[in-house]
Amino acid sequence: MPEETTESSRPTLEAVAARAGVSRATVSRVVNGGAGVRQPLVDRVREAVEELGYVPNQAARSLVTRRQGAVAVIIAEPEFRIFSDPFFEQQVRGISRELTARDTQLVLLWVEGPGDHGRIARYLDGGHVDGALAFSLHSDDRLPALIARSRVPAVFGGRPAASGPAVPYVDCDNRGGARDAVRHLVSLGRERIAHLAGPRDQTSALDRIAGYHDVLVDADPELLCQGDFTRESGARAMAELLDRRPDVDAVFASNDLMAAGALRTLRERGVRVPEDIAVVGFDDMESVVRETDPALTTVRQDIEGMGRLMVRLLMRLLDGAADAATASVITETRLVRRASA
Amino acid sequence: MPEETTESSRPTLEAVAARAGVSRATVSRVVNGGAGVRQPLVDRVREAVEELGYVPNQAARSLVTRRQGAVAVIIAEPEFRIFSDPFFEQQVRGISRELTARDTQLVLLWVEGPGDHGRIARYLDGGHVDGALAFSLHSDDRLPALIARSRVPAVFGGRPAASGPAVPYVDCDNRGGARDAVRHLVSLGRERIAHLAGPRDQTSALDRIAGYHDVLVDADPELLCQGDFTRESGARAMAELLDRRPDVDAVFASNDLMAAGALRTLRERGVRVPEDIAVVGFDDMESVVRETDPALTTVRQDIEGMGRLMVRLLMRLLDGAADAATASVITETRLVRRASA
């Protein structure tokens, strides 16, 4: 009678080899990435692995590959923001797909507060992951320094503040994108162009302010308003701006959520968009732009694609095919013209 | 000149001891949980740890505690559902707070599809976590068997299907809660009480169907409608029910999202709630019930509390203070009466 696979007896490499009709060495090569094995054999082995529920021995696998097969994604935001901000979902989606394609396990960690830093550093020190991807960093954040000390190779999403250690990152051209947005408003003949700025402890917001000033060197300081990347802050900043400078004829918001908040205020005040005030956002975040009325003109950054790039850059660092000091990637942005400007 | 802490030189145990004015042994005890150390000394050491940015050596720590200080949370749903279903956010919030209170790192993993199972099993086999918490399981899910084989202690959120291995779980009294909901509708004098059922591959939905039949032993099969726990399925099932049985006078929906969908259909059809049809949900999910009109009568389960209980049960298993075969916890539910019934 053939032996049944029970909970306590795992299927062996030999069983997979017998089922697939290949050698043990072939099974081993497929399980460890499949390099040098012809595709039909790879497929047969994978079918046998799936049918038998075979799980390779991780300890043996690590000896061969010197890898854990796992990468940490560290988000420097509390749990409630991770689950409510579509930016994280899009970026994590890109990371997840790219890691899955490399059969690498994504483990997600987040930071509720500074009290979590020591524990995250210990986790990284424990050798549980081959690398780390970290994002949503603020200028006073100790996380980049902790990660640098842990010696786990890491790639950051968004340029960390200059005060921290030099680390490889993936970011979009925030400053260039902001210039495109403001130049577009200038080309429409707008003369009093305001900027609803994002939080000053994030480099993306600072770079977009710099791009605004690149084009409008003598911008009236009264036209620069402060927000914090939330919809509510955009609505409030727009209301204050209208009270202070009712002659404003265009607004560049530092992200789409703030632009959506500004549009809500303008609708409540009976201001016509774009006739009275033209509005441009930043991100082209699908879940936000599909609901704005009028449709939002914005600066597109490929958020999911940037997540994928973070993984590829990390893998190149792990393979020694890239140098951390020079590996950072800046992606292009693109103005997407819709009805609001 | 005193030595500066640079990126490459970590602060030592000695430095922490000197700063706190205590012995190295005391620092070591505090770092490993603080057992037997007086609170004022614990506080002084923790302050020194924070000031110096000291990170204990994980390898040495594991030797003492035989623990990694990390627990995996595994959600058997694709990433887009994790980020859009408030149930996960509430349960993960409870888990996160309880783990943080025990200085244990939460690592979140999810399952996009069956192709991810082998990789997750390898990760668990790798010894990276002390235990696992798994939830949103479906009856055909291989995950409980994979986790059982990995020998990582695990607690499940929601009772796994009977076909799988016996594993400890935390669940609410789904059947008793459903009985309370239906009895309440009976007590209001309702005579044609329908049930909008959840997906038949989840034990929570099956138990709520059973509770409905406990009270209404001879329920007309036409009054049992199928949904899948989404808002859209509740709206659609309600529409079909009204077409088939316009004489229905009460609805018990298997969760709040389906109840909210049913309320939308009833409003669109001009049916008065509760005058014409009374509606009861299940969950008392804050983000759903605060927006329903009329306010939703529902069966409350403490979702965040169940997350905390999962952690406590896992820790008892790890400490050998509980037996996996008998450790499962069933929490009580409570009918919350509002305007809809």
Among B8, B58, B72, beta carbon nearest to A122: B58
Superfamily of segment(s) A70-172+304-331: Response regulator (3.40.50.2300)
The answer on pLDDT for A60 being more than 60 is no
CATH class of the domain defined by B13-65: mainly alpha
CATH number of B174-302: 3.40.50.2300
**Contact yes or no for B128/A70 (Cβ under 8 A):** yes
Residues of chain B within CATH 3.40.50.2300 domain(s) are 70-171+304-332, 174-302
The fold of the B70-171+304-332 domain, in CATH, is Rossmann fold (3.40.50)
Contacting residues for A39 by C-beta, under 8 A, at least 6 apart: none
**pLDDT in the model for residue B10:** 65
Using the beta-carbon criterion (under 8 Å), do A106 and B109 form an inter-chain contact?
yes
- Structure-model confidence comparison of residues B167 and A220, the more confident one: A220
Query: Residues B308-318: what's their mean pLDDT?
Result: 94
Task: List pLDDT tens digits, range B249-276.
Answer: 999 999 999 999 999 999 999 999 999 9
In a mutagenesis test of the B interface, which of A128, A152, A287 is the best target, namely the one with the most B β-carbons within 10 Å?
A: A128
The average confidence (pLDDT) of chain A is: 87
Residues of chain A within CATH 3.40.50.2300 domain(s) are 70-172+304-331, 174-302
| Sheet of strand B250-253, all strands in order from the earlier edge strand to the far edge | B224-226, B193-197, B250-253, B278-283, B297-300, B334-336
Q: How far is B97 from chain A (nearest CA, A)?
A: 9
Distance in angstroms (rounded) separating the CA atoms of residues B333 and B325: 24
What percentage of chain B exceeds 90 in pLDDT? 54
Among A56, A92, A126, beta carbon nearest to B58: A126
Using the beta-carbon criterion (under 8 Å), do B49 and A123 form an inter-chain contact?
no
The average confidence (pLDDT) of chain B is: 87
Task: List pLDDT tens digits, range A262-274.
Answer: 999 999 999 999 9
The answer on pLDDT for A206 being more than 80 is yes
For the question of an ipTM over 0.90, the answer is no
Using the beta-carbon criterion (under 8 Å), do A56 and B112 form an inter-chain contact?
no
Residues of chain A within CATH 1.10.260.40 domain(s) are 13-65
Helices (H) and strands (E) in chain B, counts: 14, 12
**pLDDT in the model for residue B164:** 67
Task: List pLDDT tens digits, range A227-279.
Answer: 999 899 999 999 999 999 999 999 999 999 999 999 999 999 999 999 999 99
Q: pLDDT-based confidence at B284, cuts 50/70/90?
A: very high
**pLDDT in the model for residue B3:** 40
- CB contacts of A56 in chain B (<8 Å) are 118, 122
Task: List pLDDT tens digits, range A140-160.
Answer: 778 888 888 887 999 999 998
Q: How far is A4 from chain B (nearest CA, A)?
A: 15
What percentage of chain B exceeds 70 in pLDDT? 91
- Structure-model confidence comparison of residues B19 and B166, the more confident one: B19
The answer on pLDDT for B6 being more than 50 is no
Please calculate the CA angle B82-B310-A81 and round it to the nearest 5 degrees.
35
Neighbours of A326 (CB within 10 A): 8
Query: Residues B180-193: what's their mean pLDDT?
Result: 98
Chain B: residue nearest A7 by CA? B149
Among A79, A93, A123, beta carbon nearest to B70: A123
Chain B: residue nearest A127 by CA? B128
* φ, ψ of residue B193 in degrees (nearest 5): -95, 115
- CB contacts of A50 in chain B (<8 Å) are 114, 118
Query: Residues A63-78: what's their mean pLDDT?
Result: 78
